[in-house]
Amino acid sequence: MKGLKEKVLIAGGSGLIGKKLAELLRAEHFEVAILSRNPKRSDEFYWDPVKEELDEMALKEVTVLINLSGAGIADARWTKNRKKELVDSRVGSNNFLFTKLHKLPKLRHFICASGINAYAASKSKLYVEEDPYGTDFLQSLVKNWEESAQQFHTTAKVSLLRTAVVLAKEGGAFPRLSKITKLGLGAGLGKGDQAMPWIHIDDLTGIYLHVLKNELDGTFNAVAANDSNEQFMRILAKELSKPFFLPNVPAWVLKLALGEMSTLLIDGVSASNEKILKTGFNFKYPNLVSSFQQLIASK
């Protein structure tokens, strides 16, 4: 496969991961176009999956379609309306894109973001991609999300990347937790022994590129490691040269503050990355120390 003959369209390409991925793909000589609600560049095109509106000029000659769309899981309390938004922004965007399949005659690969929270919370099991979905809200969301992506199998390969907590200097968990830790307020959450699977953003975008270049079909856990929550916070404090002495934040406090969304912090899953490793992918940042050092230095 030769990048110069490939046109990649990224839905949700103006977000944190999308910007980084677009930059990487262009460096690899792929033609890249972006679907955005607020297009600003010549290679960005308007779309609004909620209103089911899209500038069909973006679809011309597309061979690879990547959907990164999805309202932030941890950005607001899970009210009934928020849950609907979380589902619609994922399942709904896939369904809307699928209605445009007849406008994508050259499409050969559909790659969709997914979540590592496909699996039920466990402190003992290391999950692999073939394990069944859990049954709570978040796991059901991932199940429906992935099933909506599988529609594209009628004409194209489909890849699903079950993404762990993404570490990036520009946004997400790392800046938030760093700010707290720099104030000397870093602490474990709940019992602190729950797994906190994570991945450096450079490795995540690297997996997208690897899956695209090697035309991989299937589901892959996009996770570098499964450190416990307390280990994560302790290592972050050490790399920031800050103390780590406060008691863990009790689970009941998190439940009171966040409601059902507190399960994101209190519960944990450990997921294997063996499947993606067996395809020849190598992580640049396989441990927290190397990841934090790179992110801190780059700031």
Are residues 188 and 233 in contact, defined by beta-carbon separation less than 8 angstroms?
yes
Closest CA to 47 of 103, 4, 115, 3: 103
User: What is the spatial distance between Cα 34 and Cα 68, in angstroms, rounded to a whole number?
Assistant: 11
C-alpha distances in angstroms, 178 versus 173, 187, 224?
Answer: 8, 11, 20
User: What is the spatial distance between Cα 168 and Cα 174, in angstroms, rounded to a whole number?
Assistant: 6
Chain segment 59-68, per-residue pLDDT in tens: 999 999 999 9
User: What is the spatial distance between Cα 19 and Cα 205, in angstroms, rounded to a whole number?
Assistant: 10
Q: What pLDDT is attached to residue 2?
A: 46
247: number of Cβ within 10 Å: 8
Q: Which residues pair with 65 in a beta bridge?
A: 9, 110
* Residue 67: φ, ψ to 5°: -110, 110
**Is position 241 within any domain?**
no
**Is position 238 within any domain?**
no
User: What is the spatial distance between Cα 262 and Cα 266, in angstroms, rounded to a whole number?
Assistant: 6
| Mean pLDDT in residue range 80-85 | 96
Q: Is the pLDDT of residue 85 over 80?
A: yes
Locate the DSSP E strands across 129-178: 157-163, 165-167
**Is position 75 within any domain?**
yes
Please report, to the nearest 10 degrees, the dihedral formed by the alpha carbons of residues 285, 286, 292, 298 taken in order.
0
Are residues 86 and 231 in contact, defined by beta-carbon separation less than 8 angstroms?
no
Closest CA to 296 of 139, 195, 181: 181
Q: Which residues pair with 113 in a beta bridge?
A: 161
Q: Is the pLDDT of residue 1 over 90?
A: no
Chain segment 247-298, per-residue pLDDT in tens: 999 998 989 888 999 998 999 999 999 999 999 999 999 999 999 999 999 8
Closest CA to 64 of 28, 39, 31: 31
**Is position 80 within any domain?**
yes
Are residues 160 and 216 in contact, defined by beta-carbon separation less than 8 angstroms?
no
User: What is the spatial distance between Cα 275 and Cα 67, in angstroms, rounded to a whole number?
Assistant: 22
**Is position 86 within any domain?**
yes
Q: Is the pLDDT of residue 224 over 60?
A: yes
163: number of Cβ within 10 Å: 22
User: What is the spatial distance between Cα 198 and Cα 165, in angstroms, rounded to a whole number?
Assistant: 4
Q: Is the pLDDT of residue 3 over 50?
A: no
**Is position 188 within any domain?**
no
Percentage with pLDDT > 70 across the chain:
98
State which residues form the domain around 214: 3-167+197-226+270-284
Q: Count up the domains in the chain and report the number.
A: 1
Label residue 103 by pLDDT band (50, 70, 90).
Answer: very high
CA-derived radius of gyration, the chain: 19
Chain segment 160-199, per-residue pLDDT in tens: 999 999 999 999 999 999 999 999 999 999 999 999 999 9
Q: Is the pLDDT of residue 111 over 70?
A: yes
CATH of the domain at 118: 3.40.50.720
71: number of Cβ within 10 Å: 14
Please give the single-letter amino acid code of residue 251: A
Q: Is the pLDDT of residue 153 over 90?
A: yes
Q: Nearest 5°: CA angle at 175, between 173 and 181? A: 95
User: What is the spatial distance between Cα 293 and Cα 239, in angstroms, rounded to a whole number?
Assistant: 7
Q: Is the pLDDT of residue 108 over 70?
A: yes
Q: What pLDDT is attached to residue 298?
A: 81
User: What is the spatial distance between Cα 209 and Cα 1, in angstroms, rounded to a whole number?
Assistant: 12
**Is position 296 within any domain?**
no
| Mean pLDDT in residue range 217-230 | 97
**Is position 182 within any domain?**
no
